[in-house]
Amino acid sequence: MTSTLTAHDAWRTAREQTLREPHGWLSLTALHWLDDGDGAVPGLPGTWRAAGPDEVAVTAVADDGIVLPGATGPLDGTAHVRPVDGAPGVMVTVGERVVEIARRTDAWALRVRDPQARTRTAFTGVPAWPYDPAAVVDAVFTPYDAPRTVTVDAVVAGVQHFPTAVGEVAFNWAGAPQRLVALAGKDGGLSLHFRDATSGDTTYGGGRILRTDDPAPDGTLEVDLNRVVNLPCAFTAHATCPLPPAGNTLDVAVEAGEKSPLRPDLA
C-alpha cells in the first residue's frame, strides 16, 4: 500500500507541475473570436484578421514583437496562418505571452497565455479526495465494430467537438453496474469523459475525465478513479472544452479524484 500511495502522490505532483507550466492552461487570460473586420484585438499589438475559411492574416511591424513559429525574428509585414479545426492551435510569441491561433467549428479564435495570469500565480493545487484503494476497479472494454465520430457540444455556446468513440467500458461502482462510452485517447489508451452525481456540486459541472491504459487483448482493464481529473475549463473561462458524450452521465456519485478547483480569477 505504501508504494501505491507513493506512486499516486508522484502522479499528483506531476499533474500539478503540468498545470503550473508558464504557458499551460492556468495561464489563459483571454479568448477572442475573430471576424473579417479591422483585426484589432484588445491588449495585443498588430492586427489579427480572419482571411477566409482557411487562414488568419497577422499583420505587424517589427517593433510589435510578434514572432511566428520557426521565425528568427519578429514579423514585419503580413503572414498567413492555417490552424487545423479542432487541433491544437498555432502558437505565436508576443513578448512573454503566447497567442494561440485556433479553429473551432468554422470560427477563428485567439487564446492569450500569460505566465503572469492570476489563475497561475495564485494556484495552490487542485482539491482532491484522498487516495482510496476501493476506487481502483476492474473493467471490461467492448470495442465497436468500427470507430465512430460523435458530435458533442462545448462549454462555449455554438462550438462543437467531434471526438472518436471506440467502444464502451463496463464496471461496477456504488453497488451497481455502470457503462461509459470510451473515446480514443490522444496518446493511446482510452478517455472516459463523464458526469456523475457530484457534478455541479463538489466537482465541476461540465464533467471530469479519466485517461486509461490500453485494454488487454481480452478487453480487461483497470480503472483507477483516483485519477479522474478536471478539464481545462474547470480552471479558466477561456477554454472551449467538450462536454461528455451522450449517455455518459452516471446517477451515482464518484467521490474520487479531483474536486472543483479554486478559482482565484473569480475571488
- Place 105 in a pLDDT band, splitting at 50, 70 and 90: confident
Residue 86's pLDDT band (cuts 50, 70, 90): low
- pLDDT above 60 (res 258): yes
| Weakest-pLDDT range from 88-92, 201-205, 226-230 | 88-92
Which CA distances in Å does 216 have to 108, 142, 188, 230? 40, 11, 13, 26
Across the range 128-134, mean pLDDT stands at: 97
**How high is the pLDDT of residue 266?**
62
Cell numbers for 228, please give them: 479522474
Helices (H) and strands (E) in the chain, counts: 2, 17
What pLDDT, in 10s, does the model give residues 156-182?
Answer: 988 999 999 999 999 999 999 999 999
Average pLDDT of 41-50?
95
pLDDT higher than threshold 80 for residue 264:
no
* Model pLDDT, residue 216: 97
Q: Please say whether the beta carbons of 249 and 203 come within 8 A.
A: no
Mean pLDDT, the chain, rounded, equals 94
CA 212 to chain centroid, in Å, comes to 16
- Average pLDDT over every residue of 19-46: 93
Domain boundaries, the chain: 25-121, 125-266
Confidence of residue 7 (pLDDT cuts 50, 70, 90): very high
Helix (H/G/I), strand (E/B), else coil: 233: helix
Q: Tell me the whole-structure pTM to 2 decimals.
A: 0.90
All 3 cell numbers of residue 55?
487562414
Q: Which DSSP helix (H) or strand (E) runs through 11?
A: helix 2-19
Question: With the CA atoms of 33, 84, 229 and 175 taken in that order, what torsion angle do they form, in degrees rounded to the nearest 10?
Answer: 110
* Mean pLDDT, range 82-106, rounded to an integer: 87
Query: What value does the mean pLDDT take over residues 35-64?
Result: 91
Q: Is the pLDDT of residue 127 over 90?
A: yes
For residue 170, give Cα distances in angstroms to 77, 111, 143, 181, 228: 55, 37, 11, 9, 16
